[in-house]
Each structure stands twice: as C-alpha cells, then as structure tokens.
Structure 1
Amino acid sequence: MKLKLVVAAGLFLCASAAAQDNQTQFVVQDIRVEGLQRVALGAALTYIPVQVGDEMNAFRTSQLIRSLYSSTHFENIEVLRDGGTLVIRVSERPTISNIIFEGNDDIKDEQLQDSLNDNDIRVGEPLDKTVLTSIENGLKDFFYSIGKYNADVTAIVTPLPRNRVDLKLLFEEGDAAKIEQINIVGNEIFSDAELMDQFELQYDTPWWDFLSETRYQQQTLNGDMETLRSYYMDRGYLRFNIDSTQVSMTPEKSGIYIALNVSEGEQYTISGVELIGDLLGNEEYIQAVLPLTEGELYSQAEVTYTEEFISKYLGRFGYAYPTVTTIPEINDEDKTVKLTLSVDPGKRIYVRRINFFGNNVTSDEVLRQNVTQMEGTWLSNPSLESSKNILSRLTYMEEVEFDTVRIPGKDDQVDVNFSVKEQPSGSFTAGIGYGDRTKLSLQAGIQQDNFLGTGKRVALNLNTVSYQQSIQLSYSDPFFTIDGISLGGSVGYSEFDGGDFNVVQYNSKQWSAGATIGYPINEFNRISFGLTYSNVELFNQTRYLQTDRFYAQFLQDDPDAAVKYQSFLTSVVWSRTTLNRGVYPTAGSSQRASFSITTPNSDVNYFKTMFDAKYYFPLTRNQRWSFLARLRLGYGNGYGDTNGVEQILPFNENFTAGGADTLRGFENNTVGPRGVIRQGSSFITGPDGVIIPGSPSNDSYFLSSRSLGGNAMALGGVELIVPTPFVEEEMDNSIRTSLFLDVGNVWDTEFDYDAIKDLTNQSQDPLLDYSDWKLYRASAGLSVQWLSPMGPMVFSFSRALKDRPGDDAKFFTFNIGQTF
C-alpha cells in the first residue's frame, strides 16, 4: 500500500513540473531589459544567451540569470513574460564613490587598498556586497595573528544618490596581548635563559630595553621556533624536535602564555662527506674549501652554507640554477652522520637582454655603464650583486633591485630587469645667517650629480658670504672612457676675509685651475691623480708668531706689503667604498686617503695628507637602527727651505674645526690654536746713558679671539641612527635622525709653547699648549638630516661636553646644502 502511495506522489509531481514547464515555454518575439542606469543596453545584451526567435524554457531562464550575474554588474535579476516578450528586470550593483579607512594603525591605507583591489573593490567599480564578510574576517584574522584578540572590523555601506555608495571600513584594533610568560619544557643541555636569548619575542623585560618585542605575533613565534631549531641543529643535535606548542590567553584576552615542548636528543658527528654529480671538473677545489670536515660536530648552518657556496661557485660559470641536495645517512648507534652532496648544475644560462625600469631622468646608457653583467655572456650571480651595489652607491639612486626572467621556449636564456628608484641628483646650496662675528652671511650654489641624465657632475658655486666672495665651476665625467676612467676639472676665483671666517685677520685673493684623472682598481677601490695651479695673494694681515714664520721666507722691505706666491699642487687619492647606498647608507664602510704636495718649482713647498673613514653597522634586520663610527685625520707641513728659512705649511692651508661638518656644538672654525702676538718690553737707559731694548724675558703677549687653525687634525665620532619619529619607513632614504657624540682637536706641531709660557699674558684667557694633541673637545646631541628638493638640510641640537678657554659653544646649528 505504501509503495503505491509513493509511486502515485511521484507521478503527480512529474505531471505538475511538466505542466509548469509547458506554461513557461514560449517563443521569444521581443526582449526588454528594465532597470538599467549605468550599464548600457548593448553591454547587457551581450550577457543574455537568448535571441528573438528562440524558444524560452526553465533551463534557458536559469542559464540567462547565471550569465547576467557573472557580469558583476547586477545585484538582483528577475525574468518575466509579457505575452511573447521576454522581460528582464534588473537592479544594478551600486557604484563605489569613496573608500574610507578609519581607526587602522597597524595596517597602512596602501596595504588595505591592495587587499581590496585583489577582491575587485575600488572606487568607480560596482560593489559586490557578498565579499565584504570575507574581507572583514580576513582582516580580523590578521589582527589575531599579531595578538590583538579584541580587534573588530566593520564594513559600513552608506547609500548615495544615483545608485552610489560610500564604503567605510571601521577598525577597532584594541591593545595587543602582552606575553606574560614563555616556557620551554624538556631542555636539559641548555638553560632557559640561554635559549631565551635567541628569541625575538620576550617577556618581563626591563623598562630600558625598548627594542624587545613583548607583543605576541604568530609570525614572530614561528621565526623564533626556527631559530631554536637552528640553535640545536648547529650544535650537533640532529634529532632535535619541537614536539608541541601551546598558546593560551588570559580570560580578558590581554595576556599570552606560550609553552614549547622539546626533545633535545644527542649530538652527532660527521663520519664522512662525499660529492656526487657534475662539478664541472672542480671537484678537488670544492672538496678542499668545504667547511664540512669528518669528525666535527654536525651543523645545519654549515650544511646550508656549503650548499649555497657550491651554488654560487657554479653561478660564476653561468650555471645560475644549480640543484645542490644534501643526503644524510644517519647512524643512531654510533651517533654519526654521513653527508652526500648531490650536485646538478643544470644548463648554462646566458643573458639575452638587460632592461632598466623606473629611470625617468637617467639614461639607460649611464646605468649600463655601471653594470658589470654583460649581455650575451653567462649569467653571473656575483656580477649581478656587484652591479646592484654599484648602482645603489650612485648619489642619484634611492633604491635598486633586479630579477631574472626566463625566456619562454628558451631554457638557457634569461632577461635581467633592473628596477630603480631615482632621487634628486641636484642640490641647491643656500645659507643665511647672522652672528656677532660673521654678521650677515649669504651663499648660493647649484650642483647636479646627474647632469641631464648623463651621470656627469656639474657644479657652479657662487658665494657671497661675509667672509668670502667666490665663484667656481667644476665638471666630472665618471666614464670618460668605456672602462671607467674618469676625468674632471675645475676653475675658480675667490676673495677671502679671515676675520669674518672666525679665524685670525688676513685677506687673500686666489684663482686656480686644475684637472684630475681617476682609474678603477676594482669594484670597491679607485685611485686618482690631480694637478692644480694656484695664484695666491695675501694682504691686510695681522702679524702673529705663527704667521711670522711663514712670512719670514719672503724677503720684504715693507713687512706690511702683500705676499704673492704661485704653486703647482700634485695629488694622489685612494678611495674605497662598500656602502649599500650613496646617500644615507646604513651598512658598509668607506675610506679615503689623499696625499698632495707642491712641486719643487713652486714658490712655497709643502705637503698635506688626509684620511677619512666611516663604518656603518646595522643593528636591526631592516637596518632602520644603525651604528656609525667616523674618523678623520690630517697632517701637513713644509719641506725644504727658502732664503735660509725652513718652510712650513702656509697658514691659509691650516686645518680648522667646529661646525656641522666637523665638531657640532662649536661655532664654525673656532676650535684650535689661537693667534699669539708677542710684544717687546720697553726701552731702558743704560748706565752710560745709552738707550737699549729691555730684556726679552720681560716681553708680553696677546691672544687673539680668533682661531688660526693648525697643521694637524684628529676628529672622530659615533652616531646611533634611529627611525625618525612620525615619519613613514619609506622616507628613511630621505630623512635621517641620529644621536651623536663628536670628539676631536686641531693643533700646531710647530708651536713653541716653552718660548712664551713664562711671558706676561695681557689677555683674559690663559695660554694653552697649542702643540698638545690631547686638548680635545667633545660634544653630544641630536641631528636631523633631510634630503629636500633644495638639497640636503641639517638641523643639529648639541651640547659641548668638553671645551677649552676661548671656545665658542653653539647649541643649535642649521645648514642648507651641507655634505654628509
């Protein structure tokens, strides 16, 4: 009986469906689409798989609806029949008029927009509300991964006229859960403290350890677990394992407890190392330099290094994609492991083309000159890295990256694409200031390190500072020849007033012309040679003990007459740089040593030598924190004699210190020896009535308020480079903030302190031994540097920690166009 009822019900349903299908079947005589606003009728018809004359039925109706929904233009679709007319009534999806992010701190607007773009949600496009929930959940998952378990994300859609909407993503991030405790269970060989020192995540840190990460982040925990694994594996514990991980939180979701259960195992030693596969005939060399040695403890780091070494070594010969696999054979009985390194070099890869992207100013030819990888040759990973480093050190490049793209259908060819980001290559040097000594000072100049995109440096400097009026034109071509020989030259004229320069009073006129030629030794080292002709006139000078020694070599009837001399100065300069960037580097070092000497046929014979070094040490992985150590040394003196007088370094060539480029916290050029004026004693009448000069021991002396400079210099300092507050990380290449300590001195090795120390001092300040290099100065403070469109700007707040009588301390300095 039940079976009969089931069959009867089934027949009834089939009959009903057939009857309904017969009612919906009709021949389409016309098609009408209602509700269109933004979508054109022609565009809508392309998604309708029905034409006039077709027979309409239930299947074609569902097919039509699916096709229209696939266009992503419509939110609601109805299919109706009006006699022989097919009526399609649609409701369009609203257009996104604006997207607003509110309350997001941990996720930048750009990152959020990229995420929305992946879901085709952008301004001007129709809004698919069905994906908003998945976006909300995805963003919540992100906040959970960084320990913000109370975070919430809400998508608010606000209707606007003309079927438009505003989309607002409202974030309530809350505070990140703080790690209350991290427990490592099962460790016996290494203590908890020793293992925790390897972790980036920390807990219960002292207040001053502001670099520690105490917020829970899943990604950071995963990294710490790998670090822990590597710590054991690098010390021979081949069977080490993290058995389980438990992460629990307090009921209020503000604290996190982490527990890691580990099995340490025992140490394993290497019983043998075997190389198999094709090593291109270099088996003996590779075997000789491998760090893996029989009898030593197993180290996963050494294994990884060995694989990378072999890969890079084969990459030097064009085998850019080798496969190096280490096969361990573990013997648990004697706790040894035999390592077999299987090497498959693959095919030799050639470079078809080198492309450059992002260079809007610099020509491809200039960039190509700095690339050591050549087209048509083997692909060499060392050459690519070298090319990247060289390009990065150009002062007009901010960022440089490269990637290799395989050519479709060619398994032995690639294109190399360099992506560069340029930065301002010119600087406008300007300055205005007022001081008790310098009065009003103005200066201006322009320098272009990448003139018209050619990589050539052209500079025109015009100075109308109170102490100097000068003009200088310089030019340098770093690729005068195709193999990197550089050629440069300069001409200039200047009038100088030492009294306004914070040094002793004298005036000079000088014009000069010179040329230099440079030769590359290798990627990092360079040597150059130069010759400069100078014509100098010194006049209006105040006579000091130090300057009288220089003037004594010139026979003059009038001691107040101007002194003129000509010189031919030859120079040799060695420079080395491994800096990661040309401007605002964070890693690497640079050294520069120079020696210059006048030719014997010059009117003055002297030499000068200088050494300048900078060392950058990154403190964090992203190199936003870095440590800088600086050193600058200089020494000069005369050689030979003129008119029986031993020559010394001309005082106008002396070293000076003080200011942003040397010792911050002191007025420009005020650090160093001061001019000494010796005054003879009065004449006296002898017993026979003859008037004779007084004894020299009764002489007195005066100290000038100005520095004279010295022939020796030693300056140094350290800086802690820190992220600039309230500035995005992307601006690190344009703005730099640092805490600094400057130390140094300028002294005169030819100064005779004993000859005048017992004379009467007519000055307020005491006489110092200006030949003593230990009379150092020191200062500390904060410096902010900005690579502005006008050129580099430097703001320094500093305090003198160690000064000497007569020094002029300076708390704040500001420079435009300062060279770093």
Structure 2
Amino acid sequence: MQKQFNRFKLRTVSAIAAGLLMAHSAWAVDPFTVRDIRVEGLQRVEPGTIFASLPFRVGETYNDDKGSTAIRALFGLGLFKDVRLEVSGDVLVVIVEERPTVADVSFVGAKEFDKDVLKKALREIGLADGQPFDKALADKAEQELKRQYINKSMYGAEVITTVTPIERNRVNLTFNVVEGDIAKIKEIRIVGNKAFSESTLRNLFDLDTGGWMSWYTKSDRYSRAKLNADIETLRSYYLSRGYLEFKVDSTQVAISPDKQDVSITLNVTEGERFVVSGVKLEGNYIGKEEEFKTLVTIKPGEAYNADTVAATTKAFSDYFGTFGFAFARVEAVPEIDRVNNRVAFVLQAEPSRRAYVRRINIAGNNRTRDEVVRREFRQFESSWYDGDKIRLSRDRVDRLGFFTDVGVDTQDVTGTPDQVDLTVNVVEKPTGNLQLGAGFSSAEKLSLSFGIKQENVFGSGNYLGVEVNTSKLNRQLVLSTVDPYFTADGISRALDVYMRTSRPYTGQESLTTTQSLDYALKTTGASLRFGIPFTETDTVYFGGGYERLTIEPGINPLPSTYQAYANQFGYTSDAIPLTVGWTRDNRDSALVPTKGRYQRVFGDWSPAGDARYVRGNYQIQQYIPLNKQYTVALNGEIGWGRGLDQRPFPVFKNFSSGGLGSVRGFQQGSLGPRDAADLALGGPKKITLNAELIAPFPGTGNDRTLRMFAFFDAGNVFGENDPYKLSDLRASVGLGVSWISPVGPLRIGIANPIRKKVGDRIERFQFQIGTSF
C-alpha cells in the first residue's frame, strides 16, 4: 500500500527540491515508466522546446536524477521564472512560469550617446525587443552605461532602470538617465621634480586644464588611458635626458564632491643623471659583428638616452629579421656606476631560430577587399620571415591612401616554434569625394557643378572620377578611371575621356558680359596610359591620346595670341600627344607624410597632327621630421615646353602659376606673360619652389588630423623665348591650417606677397581640398 500510495500521490519539485532529490530526501519518487508528459503554463514558448530539453521520453523510466537534470536544463534555457515537476500516476506534468518578454527598450535623457547604438549594444547581450526579460542583464546594462559615462568624464551621471509590466506578460524597459555636466580637469600637479619646471613637464601631456580648443581636442576630460599615456611620455622625457632611475612613485586622481572637477597629482623621483661610459657586444651575432656595430647609436660620453638604446635594440632585431630570425632576443644590460654616475651597456643578442610566415591576416578592412592589401605585400606566406620586406609592405599599404593607420603584428604559432602569423591592422578612412555646387552671377547666370571621385571604388582599389560643370566660363565633362593592377604583375591602366569648353575671362570688371564671353576654346579628347613598376618605389608610365581643339570666335576680335594660332593651324586643330613619365615614392604616408621623398617626371610629345610640341615637367618633394611634432616639407617643380617643326608652342598647353599649388597670395593662374587685352596666357617654362614648417595646431597636442603650417612660396612662368630669371620670380609668405576632413585634406591659407610687381593680381585668402602642395 505504501508503494502504491507513493505512485499516485502528487509531488511538487522546484529548483530547491531538485537539490533535495539529488540528496535522496524523504520526498523522493520511486522510479516508474512514463506513460505521458503534459506541459502547463506555456504562453509563447513552443512545447517542442520543453520536450527537447527533457532527458527522458514517453515509455522511458523516470527517476530522481533525471528529474533534477530536467529542471536544470529548463532553467538553463533562460525562458522561465519557475519550473515544477508533478507526478500524477504514470503521467509527468511539467509546470512552467515564463519570464516576461521585453516589448520595448527606450532611453530617456541620454544625449551623449546615440540611442540606436545603445539599443544595438543591448541587443548583442540579449536585451532587446521580443527577448525574455532578464533582470541580471538589465542590471549589467545599467552598470555598463554608467561606466561609459565615466569614460566620458561625466561622473555625476545617474542611470535608473524602470521595468513596466504590460498586458500578455510583457514589460517595457526604460533607462532613465540624468547625465549631469562633464567633469573637467581643474589641476594637474607634479611633485618631486627638480631638474625641470612643473610647467615644462605639464606641457608634455595631452591632458590639460583646458584651453580655447578644448571643445575639439577634449583634452580637459579625464581618461585613465590618456593619463597612462602621459605618464609614459613623462617617463620617456626623463629617460631620454640621462635620468636612468627615474620613476613615478604614485598617482592620485581626486574628484570634487559635486563631481565636476578632477585633480591629478603625480609624485616622482628623478634620481641622478647618468652619462654613458661605454658599449660592448656579447652573444651570437651570426658572424656579422661589424655590421651590427654600425647600427649602434648609443654614444659614449653623452647623457644616457633611452630612445637611442631602444633604437639600437630595435635596429638589431630588425637586422636579425632580414635573415629570417623573427624570434631574435636583443637586450641592453646596463652596468651602473652610482659613485661616478656613469653607465655602460652590454648588448646581448641571441638570434634563436629562423622562422617562416605561415599566414598573413588582414583586420579592420570593413570595406576594402583583402586582395587590395595583400597585393602590396612583399612578404609572402610560407616564405622565410624577412623584416625588411615586412616594413616595405607596411609602407606600401600606407601609401595607398585608403587608411589612416596601418600596423603589422607578429604572433607565434602554438605548437610550431619555427612559424609566425602576421596580422595587418588597418583603420579605413573615407576615400570618396562628392561635390555639388550651384552659383549665380551676372556673367554666368545659373551654373551647376557635380563631381564624384572615389579612390577605392567598391573596395577594389580602383579610382573612378566623374566631373560635370555647366558654367558658361568653364564647361566640362570628364570621366577618369585608374586600375592600379590591370595585370597581376602590377601594371596599371588609366583612361581619361574629356570635353572642355573654356571662355577666357580677363578679370576686368569694366568688361561687359558680351565682351568677356565672346569666344571659346573647346577641347575634346581621350588618353590611355599604362604604368609599369620597375622597383618597389619606381614606376614608369607611357601612353598616348588624341585631342581636338576648336577655337570659336565671337563678335569682337580674338586675342592676338589665339588669332595667330588660328591663322597658322586653322580654327580646328588636332594633336596626338604621346606621354611618358616616372615616379619614385618612398614617403612614409600618402595622407600625412612626415619623412621620405617623392619625385615625378612627366613628358608629352606630339609628333603628328596640327599642333606639334614637346613638354616636360619635373617635381620633387622632401619631408624632413624635426621631431615627433614638427616636420619640414619642401617642394620644387620645373617645367619646359617647345614647339616642333618650326611651329610655336601651343598656347593652350602653357603652364600656369599663381594661387594654390604654386605661389599662394596671387590669383589662380594670373602670373606670367599677358596679351594686349591683359589676359594671362601662362607660358612654356615654369619654376615653383615651396617650403612649409608643419606644426601641431595650438591646443590640439599631438593630433595629426588638424595642424597648422607656415609657408614660403616662389615661382613664375615664362615665355618660350624668355630665359628663366630668378629676378622675375614672385614670392609670398603666410600661415595656414590643414585638416583631414571627411571629404579629403582641407587646407586654408592666408598669404602676403613679399615679391610682386605692378599689375600682379593679389588674393591673400585661399583654400583647397586636395593634396599638400
């Protein structure tokens, strides 16, 4: 009777009872064969979800262990607040209470963060519309949101989570945020310094107490990561000036009671200043000790400098890397003489084992295809590790101009001591440029302009550009495309198709609209060019094209220069220019270069057609880093042209000078010879010289996206029969600002001509979106 009574009595098993069941408590149920399983309490969850989680089926034997396992499995689904098992005869009843479902997640008062971004972040952790509500996840989200506000120096931010039940077992989840004001750094103190003033040391920091550009740099907002970086900068400053034993003893960050002000105090110990007494090499230098000695930059007799020590050990490691020793260990061991404040260094080296690269991974290229990066790599997979090739590869990827940052990390391959993996980490930048414009003037009436330039179209690495301008003075339609890898060997192909109509304007306000628009120059043509890379930094270009020039006279006589050309060749003339060129580029970056050189030679020759001429141009740019913040940029350009077969040089092929890209402070293209109507003609000879000192913008610290520069420009163009004369060069000086904007590098300059002549057209304020010079 007792056994029969146990079989038929109702038994409730909860999550706590599951543990009692496992302990074989007095509530234990004798094993029996399950005739049926019934589920009660379901609202949204499918019964199949329950049955799939049970460790038994109809017809199988039920026991206490299986009941405990079933309860744990059902709770593990995260769908239920409560789970019970009841036994009624041979029928097992599973009774569940579902968690409420999240109907909506909203944020009230959150202005610092985009609400869609916050919702996406919550969705990734399982807190979203239609998901079961989990109080633990809601608490976690609340704490994370507070942490994010603290990271933005908003220490007074309060977050309160409100759960509102609604019909059909659902809840609305609301995060009520009181952001408060941003806490600003009120004070930064350095205690214990003797060799350098506190103000000198504070100027090294990116964090500060605020200035007129703090709205852009946010340098007065406390960040632990930024403070750690500033501490490292401080340490580097001392270590590079002889203070071998400098250390930061403690860091205190105090927040005012109203959570609006932050005070930072650093306690430092400078130690004594040490001088290097000697350097010697120990270890295995693979028989190339003399080569390694040439890489030593540590100078005996000079103050200890951690930068030169680090540079030497890095140079050693890199040199080992050129022979495949990716795991070479190089250590500079100091031998300190504290009595005389002198230190000697022993450079110990162990090349370890040679390694080869197993795999090259690309990370951060959300838009750019992998192949665009991989084809620039000169270090190949399954090849010996080569440090020089890896650095060259990194520079080639950076010079693409598609990324704001490029880095290469090396990882060991677990279980394979002679292999490494390389990961190329890139940060993409916008490579498209969309221009829309409209203008109205008494001369041109309504004019519309449209341009789209994509340097990395569809992530393929190809260039595509379309330009349209409806201006009456300068109408044009230009289609350009460049495939940098037309062949697998890296031969590039460029195709240009264009139609241009220009109506030269003298710039004299006294001229009427009819006089200024009474003739036109129409140019229609196409060209095809190929580029062949001969070395890693040298490329030779060649191509050809066809061009037709049409001179359309107006009511008034043509300018004498154009009339003379029309009398000799007719109002319609053809040219078949053949082009050849060469470039060498070893700059460290195409976007913000700080070191390296760029050279370009371009020539075109038209041996047939009505216009026959030869023209050449040479340009060189040099970037010289003075230190981490300051760079000197130099640019020089010279051009020359000449007519062939007793024909004059075509006036429409003249070089121009003045304005952006040549001599700032003068109107665009206004320098050089002029005709009787005071129309600037340009010339077949050109000289341009530019120099810039690039520095951080005041208040932005080491930010490279916003910088300022001082410049000196000189240049001019000359007639075909005029000699190059330095005395005829125009010159200007000025200041400018460069900003890496979302649509490209933006440069604004204010120039003052310091060498000019009567009749020169001055334009002191100019700006451009494009390249540096």
Task: Output the TM-score relative to the length of structure 1.
Answer: 0.69
Match of 2:228 among 222, 226, 230: 222
Match of 1:22 among 8, 26, 40: 26
Aligned pairs, number: 730
Q: Classify the secondary structure of the residue corresponding to 1:33.
A: strand
Q: What residue is the counterpart of 2:376 in the other structure?
A: 370
Residue 74 of structure 1: how far off its partner (Å):
1.9
Amino acid at match of 2:268: V
For residue 22 of structure 1, give the secondary structure of its aligned residue in structure 2: coil
Pairwise CA distance, 1:67: 3.7
Deviations 1:338-384 (A, max 9, x none): 54444343433323455667889977666543322223312334433
- Matching of residue 282 in structure 1 with residue 295 in structure 2: no
2:182 aligns with 176
Query: Structure 1 pair 576/22, CA: closer, same or farther in 2 (3 Å)?
Result: closer
Q: Judge conservation of contact 1:158–1:166 (CA < 8 Å) in 2.
A: yes
Contact residue 795 and residue 812 of structure 1 kept, 8 A: no
- CA offsets, 1:406-429, max 9 Å, x none? 656544335556577888888788
Q: Which entry has the higher C-alpha Rg, 1 or 2?
A: 1
1:611 equivalent among 612, 619, 630: 619
Q: CA contact under 8 A between 2:21 and 2:27: conserved in structure 1?
A: no
Q: Do the aligned residues in 1 keep the contact of 2:21 with 2:68 (CA within 8 Å)? A: no
Match of 2:201 in 1: 195
Conserved? CA contact 1:355–1:417, under 8 Å: yes
CA distance in 2 between partners of 1:259 and 1:813 (Å): 43
User: Equivalent residue of 1:412, what SS?
Assistant: strand
Distance 2:766 2:246 in 1: 57
Q: Which segments of 5 or more consecutive residues in structure 1 lack a partner in the other structure?
A: 1-15, 678-702, 724-731, 754-770
- Partner deviation per Cα, 1:119-149 (whole Å, 9 max, x = no partner): 5444543332124334434443554465433
Task: Describe the shift of the 1:579–1:160 C-alpha distance in structure 2 as closer, same or farther (beyond 3 A).
Answer: farther
Report how far residue 440 of structure 1 moved. Answer: 5.2
2:333/2:346 contact within 8 Å kept? yes
Cα distance in structure 1, aligned partners of 2:558 and 2:124: 76
**What do the CA deviations read for 1:423-460 (whole angstroms, capped 9, x no partner)?**
88887887664443345556778877678987666778
Q: Distance in 2 between matches of 1:389 and 1:133?
A: 47
Rounded Cα–Cα distance in structure 2 between residues aligned with 1:239 and 1:485: 55
Corresponding residue for 2:654? 654
Instruction: Verify the 8 A CA contact 1:184 1:259 in the aligned structure 2.
Output: yes
Pairing 1:637-652 to 2, within 5 Å after superposition: 638=642, 642=646, 649-652=649-652
Q: Which amino acid aligns with 2:589?
A: N
Distance 2:283 2:542 in 1: 51
| Letter of the 1:576 counterpart | D
The answer to whether the aligner puts 1:243 opposite 2:243 as a matched pair is: no
The answer as to 2:587 corresponding to 1:578 is: yes
Distance of 2:710 and 2:336 partners within structure 1: 55
Distance 1:722 1:340, change over 3 A: closer
Find the counterpart in structure 2 of residue 762 from structure 1.
none
Q: Does 1:437 align with 2:443?
A: yes
* Contact 2:603/2:616 (8 A) holds in 1: yes
* Shift of residue 91, structure 1, vs aligned partner: 1.9
Larger deviation, residues 373-382 vs 801-810:
801-810
Are residues 1:526 and 2:539 paired?
Answer: yes
Per the alignment, do residues 280 and 506 of structure 1 end up closer, same or farther by CA in structure 2, a change over 3 Å counting? farther
Match of residue 596 from structure 1: 603
The secondary structure found in structure 1 opposite 2:603 is: strand
Q: Residue 655 and residue 116 in structure 1: after superposition, are their counterparts in 2 closer, same or farther (change >3 A)? A: same
Q: Do the aligned residues in 1 keep the contact of 2:643 with 2:650 (CA within 8 Å)?
A: no
1:668 shift after superposition: 6.8
Conservation of the 8 A alpha-carbon contact between 2:575 and 2:606: no
What displacement does 1:514 show? 5.5
The answer on whether the counterparts of 2:544 and 2:576 sit within 8 Å (CA) in structure 1 is no
SS at match of 2:561: helix
**1:77 maps onto 2:91 in alignment:** no
For residues 326 and 227 of structure 2, the distance between their equivalents in structure 1, rounded to whole angstroms, comes to: 34
Partner Cα distance (1:280, 1:164) in 2: 72
Q: Decide whether the 8 Å contact of 2:22 with 2:68 is kept in 1.
A: no
- Structure 1 pair 136/456, CA: closer, same or farther in 2 (3 Å)? closer
Partner Cα separation in structure 1 for residue 518 and residue 198 of structure 2: 68
CA distance in 2, matches of 1:19, 1:428: 73
CA distance in 2 between partners of 1:188 and 1:722 (Å): 28
CA distance 1:185–1:62, shift in 2 (3 Å): same
The residue that corresponds to 1:93 in the other structure is 99
Alpha carbons of 1:185 and 1:297: their partners in 2 closer, same or farther (altered >3 Å)?
Answer: same
CA RMSD, Structure 1 to Structure 2 (Å): 5.7
Structure 1 residues 666 and 524: CA distance shift in structure 2, 3 A: same
Q: Give distance in 2, aligned partners of 1:616 and 1:742.
A: 15
- TM-score using structure 2 length: 0.73
Which amino acid in 2 is paired with 1:580? S
Deviation, 1:196, is: 1.9
Q: Contact 2:188 / 2:263 at 8 angstroms: preserved in 1?
A: yes
SS of the residue aligned with 2:26? helix
* 2:258 aligned partner, one-letter code: E
**Aligned mate of 1:154, from 149, 154, 160:** 160
Which amino acid is the alignment partner of residue 22 of structure 1? A
Q: CA deviation at 1:71?
A: 2.5
Aligned counterparts, 1:360-439, within 5 A? 367-394=373-400, 409-414=415-420, 416=422, 433-439=439-445
Give me the whole-angstrom Cα distance separating, in 2, the residues matched to 1:198 and 1:459: 43
Q: Which amino acid aligns with 2:249?
A: D
Give the Cα–Cα distance (whole angstroms) in 1 for the partners of residues 219 and 397 of structure 2.
Answer: 35
Shift of residue 285, structure 1, vs aligned partner: 1.9
Q: 1:287 to 1:490 in 2, by over 3 A?
A: same
1:665, 1:797 within 8 Å by CA — same for their partners in 2? no
Of 32, 39, 45, which residue of structure 2 is paired with 1:33? 39
Letter in 2 for 1:373: Q
The 8 Å contact of residues 279 and 343 in structure 1, kept in 2 or not, is answered as yes
Percent of residue pairs identical:
30
Q: How does 1:313-324 map to 2 (within 5 A)?
A: 313-324=319-330
Deviation at 1:180, TM superposition (A): 3.0
- Structure 1 residues 420-819: aligned runs within 5 Å: 433-439=439-445, 441=447, 466-467=472-473, 478-479=484-485, 483-486=489-492, 488=494, 497-498=503-504, 507-508=520-521, 516-520=529-533, 522-529=535-542, 540=553, 547=561, 551=564, 562=571, 571-576=580-585, 578=587, 580=589, 591-596=598-603, 598=605, 607-609=615-617, 611=619, 613=621, 633=637, 635-636=639-640, 638=642, 642=646, 649-656=649-656, 671-672=670-671, 675-677=674-676, 703-704=677-678, 706-710=679-683, 712=686, 714=688, 749-750=718-719, 773-774=729-730, 787=743
Measure how far apart 1:35 and its partner are: 1.8
Contact 1:719 1:738 in 2 (8 A): no
